[in-house]
Amino acid sequence: MLSGRTLIENALQKKTVPRIPCFPLIDLAFASAYLKQTLREVQLDPELHAEALCTCAEQLPVDGVYINLCLDYGQSKLIKDDTYLIDQALTLVIPENDVLSISSTDIQSLDDERLLTDELFHPGMLSAFSLLQDSIKDRFSVFVGVTGTFSQISFLYGIPELMIALLDQPEAVHRALDKRHKIVLQQIREVTQSGARFIWIGEGLASGSLISPRQYRDFVLPYEQSMAEEIRRQGALSLLHICGNVTAALPDIKRCKADGFDLDYPVDLQTALDTLLPQVAVKGNINPTLFLPGQEETLRQACVEAKNIAGKRNGFIMSTGCLVPRDATLKSFQIMAETVQR
């Protein structure tokens, strides 16, 4: 019987697998609840982060987990209540049981030198991976997040400010992206040198809800292509994630040449499979709200439909479209697992 790690490896390489991999997107949101810890505690503590993910991998019928949005020890400084400062530049709000958000940034220029030094979430995610049990890394696909270049600039400079700069200062944006991309490539090397086999390229802010297909081609795609090439050069496998409806950008996403694409639920699965396969594996894309209580039969129908749409094509991984919610039921994981095993 193949391990979850091997199933995901084969699926990303578009090889034949004995069953569709079952890989709902478990990260710290659900894992913290499953460990009965607050989400804030797990975000601020790589050791607790690793423990939560290991527990989910061992006890749930899944083939892998994600390391996402973790801060390293000492990287954050409490200002007051639920407000923290990281890298002497970003002010974060970290609620007790919700994902952190960036409330403000001290970086006011696209030429600010801190665009070359601030680490964002990389140290925490790297630490969490190093603290995972070796047995988990051997048996499951553990995806370590490396935030995409465009999204890193968005976090550091500010999302509204960057959206305006795409129109008013395109050359300055490219200059900032070129500089930051060197940091991103170094982050990839650090993650792969730590032993990671799977890299999750988190490019959520390249969503079709925020930028146009042309802007995606100009400001995002070249850097994603470079990331995918570097990951492959380091002997690892890549999975690109972009939030929201990216239907119009699918032909360009195919050109990224990542091993797989983490498909969010607003995109039609049939369209994505027809566009991306066989070059790019497709992971997705059940609506994650169906993992909440009272949705069991609707979830079962959605999983069966996704399986039927995928058919016998190689390169499909059953998953949620975006993160499993904190209040997901255990029955939901069993339903998805039963569907792929049937």
**What does the pLDDT look like over 41-93, one tens digit per residue?**
999 999 999 999 999 999 999 999 999 999 998 888 999 989 999 988 999 99
Question: Quick one: pLDDT at residue 261?
Answer: 98
Cα within 13 Å of Cα(48), Cβ side: 20
Question: d(Cα 36, Cα 39) in Å, to the nearest integer?
Answer: 9
Q: Cβ distance 121 to 147 under 8 Å?
A: yes
Question: Quick one: pLDDT at residue 342?
Answer: 81
Question: d(Cα 34, Cα 328) in Å, to the nearest integer?
Answer: 9
Provide the CATH topology of domain 4-341: TIM Barrel (3.20.20)
Over residues 84-107, the mean pLDDT reads 93
Question: Quick one: pLDDT at residue 147?
Answer: 97
The predicted model scores a pTM of 0.95
CA 50 to chain centre: 16
Question: Quick one: pLDDT at residue 87?
Answer: 87
Q: What is the pLDDT of residues 122-140, one digit of tens each?
A: 999 999 999 999 999 999 9
Residue 68 preceded by cis peptide, ω within 30: no
Strand pairing class (101-105; 141-147)? unpaired
State the pLDDT confidence band at 1, using cuts at 50, 70 and 90.
Answer: confident
**Which residues does 178 contact at the CB level (< 8 Å), separation at least 6?**
none
CA 53 vs CA 8, 63, 329: distances in Å: 17, 12, 16
Question: d(Cα 152, Cα 18) in Å, to the nearest integer?
Answer: 38
Question: Quick one: pLDDT at residue 74?
Answer: 86
Question: Quick one: pLDDT at residue 230?
Answer: 98
* Helix (H), strand (E), coil (C) string for the chain: CCCHHHHHHHHHCCCCCCCCCECCCCCHHHHHHHCCCCHHHHHHCHHHHHHHHHHHHHHCCCCEEEECCCCCCCCEEEEECCEEEECCCEEEECCCCCCCEEEEECCCCCCCHHHHCCCCCHHHHHHHHHHCCHHHHHHCEEEEEEECHHHHHHHHHCHHHHHHHHHHCHHHHHHHHHHHHHHHHHHHHHHHHCCCCEEEEECHHHCCCCCCHHHHHHHCHHHHHHHHHHHHHCCCEEEEECCCCCHHHHHHHHHCCCCEEECCCCCCHHHHHHHHCCCCEEEEEECHHHHCCCCHHHHHHHHHHHHHHHCCCCCEEEEECCCCCCCCCHHHHHHHHHHHHC
